[in-house]
Amino acid sequence: MTMQPAVKMFDYLEQFHEIEPQVMKAIERVTRSGQLMLAQEVKTFEQNFATFIGAPQAGVGVANGTDAIVVCLMALGIGPGDHVITTANTAVPTVSAIRMAHATPVFVDVDPNTALMDLNQLRAAITPQTKAIIPVHLFGNMVNMTQVMQLADEHGLKVIEDCAQSHGAQLNGQTAGTLGHAAAFSFYPTKNLGAMGDAGLSISADPELTKQMRRIRMYGFDETYYSEREGINSRLHEIQAAILNVKLPQLPYMLANRRRIAQQYLAGLSPRVIPMQTTEHVNHAYHLFVVKVAPDLNRDDVRARLLEKGINTGIHYPHPIHLMRGYAFLGYKPGSLPVTEQLSQSILSLPIYPELSDEDVNRVIQAVNEVVG
Ligand SMILES: *Cc1c(COP(=O)(O)O)cnc(C)c1O
């Protein structure tokens, strides 16, 4: 038994302590400005985040990452009867967003080495009803967008990047969120860039699409009390934007820490845990550090024994969406996405967050290597 405190998957307070004075000042700035909704802080963040990813147009701040996907789908005119291809090994919100836009999710299997969308399966799944693709840049890795965009162009499809886990990831030097027709980001507190509540952003290089996004996030308005189109209410709050404005300048340093921790894991872990491969030419953003346990190991046993040693771990994700009761109506049966189903039994996420100390990373490596033998 260890007497040290457990290694956590994420610790919001460790990060907050470092920036508390600036955050408090930012909150005070908003509360005293008399401007609580869609004012200067939101505008500043929309511009500065676009600059960070190298996008030509400011983004559109929305209430959360799920809405960010919905706003992209609506702006692209995706709706009832339209099929949207994505993966079942993702966070549920990717799929709930497709349903919120009244479209139909279609799942393709994933590559066993990356757990990302299998692009051969994608090609095979395209039908005349297919209108859009949502590649999910899961774990901070990226789907090969060069190939996705080529397929999309061949078939006249729209592509929305789900960047909720990939702030700062790059493919051939181009940052996630600048490679599709539109992209959605989440700033849920645990993400690579996190607010202190819900927050999200939709973004596109296309000015017309951006204009539609801006309308959609507030009832379809350009001017007060007049809808140019159907919209929803999904505003990014000024206080969350102000907090994001404090944290955005630190994102490069936080990403560097995630990448440094990942390198320590890659160098130190036993070959009996197999790290997910990084897509070629990708600079990974390491939102999560995911490994597969060797075939003769029981993942849940490994997990329980790590917990005994004071190491928290996660599973991303334990239940493929197509087999969840809430999505049974989509009609998928066990065995329909074999790689996704198999991975859900063998993957394990190790602690990775910018404030994790070298000492704790070494504790994790040592504990994993002891447990897997
Ligand atoms: C977190 C997440 C979302 C949704 O973000 P919310 O802000 O929680 O709505 C969407 N997709 C993926 C892959 C995520 O990890």
Residue 262 has pLDDT above 80, yes or no: yes
DSSP symbols for 215-240: HHTBTTBSSTT-BSS---B-PPBHHH
- How far apart CA 264 and CA 279 sit, in angstroms, is 19
- In the predicted model, what is the mean pLDDT of residues 332-346? 98
Alpha carbon of 166 to ligand 1 centroid (Å): 11
Q: With beta carbons less than 8 A apart as the criterion, state whether 176 and 166 touch.
A: yes
Q: Is 317 in the pocket of ligand 1 (CB under 6 A)?
A: no
Looking up tokens 């859900």, which residue turns up? 344
> Once rounded to an integer, what is the mean pLDDT over residues 104-133?
98
Length of the chain: 373
Residue range 22-44: mean pLDDT, rounded: 96
163 lines ligand 1 (CB under 6 A): no
- CA 103–ligand 1 middle distance (angstroms): 18
346 CB within 6 A, ligand 1? no
- Which residue has a Cα nearest atom 2 of ligand 1? 164
State in Å: Cα 162 to ligand 1 middle. Answer: 8
- Give the tens place of pLDDT for each residue, 79-103: 999 999 999 999 999 999 999 999 9
Give the mean model confidence (pLDDT) for residues 191-196: 98
Residue 194 Cβ < 6 Å to ligand 1:
no
Q: Does residue 333 carry a pLDDT above 90?
A: yes
pLDDT in tens, 64-74: 999 999 999 99
CB contact at 8 A, 245 and 44:
yes
Q: Is 15 in the pocket of ligand 1 (CB under 6 A)?
A: no
Confidence of residue 317 (pLDDT cuts 50, 70, 90): very high
234 in ligand 1 pocket by Cβ < 6 Å?
A: no
Q: Which of 10, 94, 192, 349 to mutate to test the pocket of ligand 1 (most atoms within 8 A of CB)?
A: 94
Cα 50 from Cα 182, distance rounded (Å): 12
Any atom of ligand 1 within 6 Å of the Cβ of 136: yes
Structure confidence at residue 112 (pLDDT): 98
Q: Contact at 8 Å (CB) between 89 and 239?
A: no
Whether the per-residue pLDDT at 340 is higher than 60: the answer is yes
> What average pLDDT does the segment 252-258 reach?
98
Q: What percent of the chain has pLDDT over 90?
A: 97
Average pLDDT over residues 199-207: 98
Q: What is the pLDDT of residue 4?
A: 83
Average pLDDT over residues 347-352: 98
Q: Measured from the CA of 186, which atom of ligand 1 is nearest?
A: 7
The pLDDT score that the predictor gives to residue 345 is 97
Q: What is the pTM of this model?
A: 0.97
More confident residue, 12 or 247: 247
Say whether pLDDT at 187 is over 70. yes
**Ligand 1 centre distance from Cα of residue 268 (Å):** 30
Distance from C-alpha of 373 to C-alpha of 131, rounded to nearest angstrom: 48
- Ligand 1 pocket residue status of 87, Cβ below 6 Å: no
Q: Which helix (H) or strand (E) holds 368?
A: helix 358-372
> pLDDT value at position 88?
98
Q: Tell me the average pLDDT across 309-313.
A: 98
User: With 60 as the cut, is the pLDDT of residue 47 above it?
Assistant: yes
Q: Is the CB of 93 under 6 A from ligand 1?
A: yes
Atom of ligand 1 nearest to the CA of 199: 7
- Does ligand 1 come within 6 angstroms of the Cβ of 91? yes
As a whole number of angstroms, the distance between CA 18 and CA 29 comes to 19
- What local confidence, expressed as pLDDT, does residue 84 receive? 98
- Ligand 1 probe mutation, 142, 165, 232, 237, most atoms within 8 A of CB: 165
- Asked if pLDDT for residue 1 goes beyond 60, the answer is no
The finding on whether 162 has its CB within 6 A of some atom of ligand 1 is yes
Locate 98 and state its tokens.
């497709």
